[in-house]
């Protein structure tokens, strides 16, 4: 067995769930097929990151698109190996402009935006101005622990120019969120 090339050894490796024969990457061309195959496999047992890539082409991207649709898929170490674990699906609701505005009135937002301004010495990180400051989100990690690292202090003009430069990108307030998150925003947490 030691004389086999590395990729062949990997293809002969059995999965964590004890499958007797390793599966081969599916020849699925459309995204819906990949998503269905990934969900089916995840619902059976945890799936290693390596095996997710073997299951469908761009397996990690497929996991990401499932997460965007409300599927809760955690990355955990099982026996020292990174595995995706399926936890179920949450109902997502569409974010209306009023809900987005409520987020910017929450205690959480006021706290983290004040911390970010202080960390950035109350100056625009692009032009150095200290006037008319805003706090800019890069990924909109709402209520997450790492949200402070997702922010940057910018003056109003630089903030506007950043948004114009990235128009059409993924840089926008989430279009859908869980009901639980919406309720936290409505409560003003």
Query: Where in the chain are the domains?
Result: 6-89, 92-187
pTM (two decimals): 0.58
pLDDT in tens, the chain (189 residues): 445 444 443 444 444 444 444 445 445 568 888 889 899 999 999 999 999 988 888 888 899 889 888 888 988 999 889 999 999 888 888 889 999 999 999 999 999 999 999 999 999 999 999 999 999 988 887 777 667 888 999 999 999 998 888 776 656 788 888 888 899 999 998
**Spatial CB neighbours of 114, under 8 Å, sequence gap ≥ 6:** none
């Amino acid at each position: 067995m030691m004389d086999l090339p590395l990729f062949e050894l990997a293809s002969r490796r059995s999965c964590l769930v004890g499958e007797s024969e390793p599966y081969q990457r599916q020849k699925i061309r459309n995204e819906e097929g990949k998503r269905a195959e990934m969900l089916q496999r995840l619902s059976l047992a945890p799936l290693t990151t390596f095996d997710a890539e073997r299951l469908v082409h761009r397996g990690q991207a497929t996991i990401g698109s499932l997460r965007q649709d409300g599927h809760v898929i955690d990355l955990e170490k099982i026996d020292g190996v990174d595995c995706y674990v399926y936890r179920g699906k949450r109902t997502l609701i569409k974010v209306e402009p009023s809900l987005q505005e409520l987020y910017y009135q929450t205690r959480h937002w006021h706290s983290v935006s004040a911390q970010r301004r202080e960390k950035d010495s109350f100056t625009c990180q692009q032009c150095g101005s200290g006037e008319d400051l805003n706090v800019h989100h890069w990924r909109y990690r709402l209520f997450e622990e790492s949200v402070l690292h997702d922010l940057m202090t910018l003056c109003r003009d630089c903030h506007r120019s950043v948004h114009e430069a990235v128009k059409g990108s993924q840089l926008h307030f989430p279009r859908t969120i869980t009901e639980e998150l919406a309720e936290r925003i409505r409560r003003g947490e």
